[in-house]
Amino acid sequence: MTPLLSIQLRTFAATDPGPGGWQQMLDLARAADAAGVDKLVVSDHVVFGEQLEAYGRPELGGMAGGRQPTGPDGHWLEPTTVLTLLGGITSNIRLGNNILLAALRRPVILAKSLATLDVLTGGRVDLGVGVGWQAEEYEAAGLSFADRGELLDHTLAVCQALWASCPTDFDDDHLTFSRIHMQPQPSQPGGVPIWVSGTLNPRAMRRLARFGAGWIPWGDDMGGDMADNIARMREVVAGFDRDPAGIGVVGTLPVVRTADGVDLAATMGQVPPLADAGVTDFRAHLPIPEDSAAAHDYLAPVVDAFRSATGR
């Protein structure tokens, strides 16, 4: 797979940004598209409880030492809505989730929404999913937090069934239907690619083997020796009778910072070995200027350097 350069948009704010407060995010999306960045991703929270320290608990699905960037009254935009708007103001850049709590959505509605977005954007959509860490989010949706993994698997199975054929039959412990028609189908053959987030645990790896076009590492598996992490992922996935060769992997672009900013040559010099190890989506956390024109002028040479480093 051709390595991609991606950035995450800030679609949340600690307080109400007020009228026009999200315009900078939209301007950055346009600038990234014009500069040739390959992919934009957005995050997801539907509601919050008040036990935000749970984000720092890996046993609940959080991350050791993790802290939420807002309080429970923070403003978080709904991601599919945001991606729809972004699809209308961009032309080439891919649009994805990092991550969507897909189990909180009714599967048939999610399948329809994403198929529609994929058609309207000419096949530019990726679905990144995970189970999340917050019990209150599931409780508010009338769902069992303890069953979140099973619920996510069910959601993905329904989506893929509806995207694979028309009419569609489906049967599992949660839902049965036959000869259901859903049109339009996604533009991308096989449906919207699903990127599965999780650590190197058997449940997440089984989900990746069954549904995943790509892996979004989580927790300790986001860092350290990525070559080793990817090798272990491939070994576990192969144990679930899935050829791991075609599975993409998200990795962090290793930005080398200096007193004057970013050493672009040194940063891109680290890209080829990571690409050789299997990283296919390089997530860039860069000091991008707020002004739209300045953001474009900043990102364009970054894109050029990345493409040179990856032989594009």
Cα 83 vs. chain centroid, distance in angstroms? Answer: 12
Question: Low-confidence residues of the chain, pLDDT below 70?
Answer: none
First to last CA, the chain: 11
Which pLDDT score is estimated for 19?
A: 86
CB distance 117 to 84 below 8 Å: yes
Task: Name the 3-class secondary structure at 89.
Answer: helix
Q: Tell whether 253 is covered by a domain.
A: no
Which pLDDT score is estimated for 56?
A: 94
Q: Tell whether 261 is covered by a domain.
A: no
Say which DSSP state 96 is in: E
**Residue-wise burial string across 291-312, b where 16 or more C-beta atoms lie within 10 A, e elsewhere:** ebeebbebbeebbebbbebbee
Cα 53 vs. chain centroid, distance in angstroms? Answer: 23
Q: Tell whether 52 is covered by a domain.
A: yes
Q: What are the structure tokens assigned to 66, written together? A: 């993790």
Which pLDDT score is estimated for 312?
A: 83
* Structural domain total, the chain: 1
Q: Tell whether 283 is covered by a domain.
A: no
Q: Tell me the C-alpha distance between 221 and 306, whole Å.
A: 24
* Of 210, 206, 190, nearest in space to 198 by CA: 206
85-107: pLDDT as tens digits: 999 999 999 999 999 999 999 99
CB distance 254 to 274 below 8 Å: yes
Q: Tell whether 292 is covered by a domain.
A: no
Which pLDDT score is estimated for 1?
A: 86
- What is the domain extent for residue 160? 7-22+46-248
Residue 135 sits in a domain whose CATH number is 3.20.20.30
For 142-170, the DSSP string reads T--GGGHHHHHHHHHHHHHHHHH-SSEEE
Q: Tell whether 63 is covered by a domain.
A: yes
- List for the chain the helix, strand, coil content (%; round to 5): 45, 15, 40
Q: Tell whether 80 is covered by a domain.
A: yes
Q: Tell me the C-alpha distance between 310 and 162, whole Å.
A: 36
CB distance 30 to 90 below 8 Å: yes
Q: Tell whether 87 is covered by a domain.
A: yes
* Of 51, 69, 73, 70, nearest in space to 60 by CA: 51
Q: What are the structure tokens assigned to 164, written together? A: 């694979």
